[in-house]
Amino acid sequence: MTFFSNMMNKRRFWPHLAAWLPGLWLVWAWQSGNLGINPIQAATQFSGRTALTILAFSLACTPLNTLFGWRFVLPWRRPLGLYAFVWATVHLLFFVWVDYGLDWAALHLDVGSKPYVWVGALAMIVLVALALTSHRWWMVRLGRRWKALHRLVYPAALLVLVHYFWVVKGNFLGLSGDVGRPLGYTAVIVLLLVLRVSAVRRKIAHLRGRGLRLWRGITRRNDTLHRVS
């Protein structure tokens, strides 16, 4: 009961909505046959993109607070991070279970010709570690090491991007192949990582503080002129 009340608690509702809506759409599209001629491949790719999108939303929470002072988004980081892991798990299950039918022999033979699988597996291992240690108990138990561990989300995001480029058979250096979406995700993720650099955050906070002081000064001046007139 507490879980659902927290879900519906004003702003806490939005990260849950962002994670569940794609799932509802995927179930509808799968049942109604709206995933094209290769529904398994479409569902696998969709779940992977959704995992990456939600991971990007999770990484965006701190920069949004830095840029605009939106402290209300900070509690969204944990649920969004966990939902990114859930969607990554769905992506993995579509690949291993639905596509290969848990045929480990066939999977072993095929994986050798698909190096992107190993990159994705490495990213998944990191996400598993982060999900398992996301509870406050682990935060207290690990202390400073908890923060160091959870900074691995950044290299994990970069691994996911490499995995994505390889999956769509794009050539990152030559910009050939279907690289439009991967490039878009890369631009967003890199920007979010830059905004998390301490020096950049301090500079933005300084500029935002000056802007707020300037705005308050203009507002007070306008109020004074309005009262005089």
Q: Which residues on neighbouring strands pair with residue 176, listed in sequence order?
A: 171
Residue-level pLDDT at 70: 83
| pLDDT of residue 212 exceeding 60 | no
In the numeric block, the tokens 């095929």 are attached to 110
Find the mean pLDDT for residues 80-85.
Answer: 94
- Please tell me what DSSP assigns to residue 99: I
**Token pair of 196 as six digits:** 């998390």
Whose CA is closest to 153, among 47, 63, 22, 56?
Answer: 56
Helix, strand or coil, per DSSP, at residue 176: strand
Distance CA 137, CA 60 (A): 25
Residue in 144, 220, 226, 157 with CA at minimum distance from that of residue 191: 157
Tokens 């010709």, located at residue? 113
The DSSP result for 178-219, as a single string, is S-HHHHHHHHHHHHHHHHTSHHHHHHHHHHHHHHHHHHHHHH
Mean pLDDT of 152-176: 80
Q: What is the mean pLDDT of residues 14-26?
A: 90
User: Where residue 40 falls among pLDDT bands split at 50, 70, 90?
Assistant: very high
pLDDT of residue 4: 46
Strand-pairing partners, residue 171, are: 176
* pLDDT at position 122: 93
Q: What is the rounded average pLDDT of the residues 82-91?
A: 95
Amino acid at 186: T
What pLDDT shows up at residue 7? Answer: 47
Q: Is the pLDDT of residue 62 over 70?
A: yes
Mean pLDDT of 55-72: 87
Give the span between the Cα atoms of 159 and 205, in whole angstroms: 30
Kindly report the number of other CB atoms within 10 A of residue 120's CB atom.
23
* C-alpha 221: how far from chain center: 43
> How far is Cα 42 from Cα 158, in angstroms, rounded to an integer?
23
9 DSSP assignment: S
pLDDT digits (tens, 9 = 90+) for 115-148: 888 899 999 999 999 999 988 888 888 888 888 8
| pLDDT, greater one: 74 or 211 | 74
What percent of the chain lies above the pLDDT cut of 70?
80
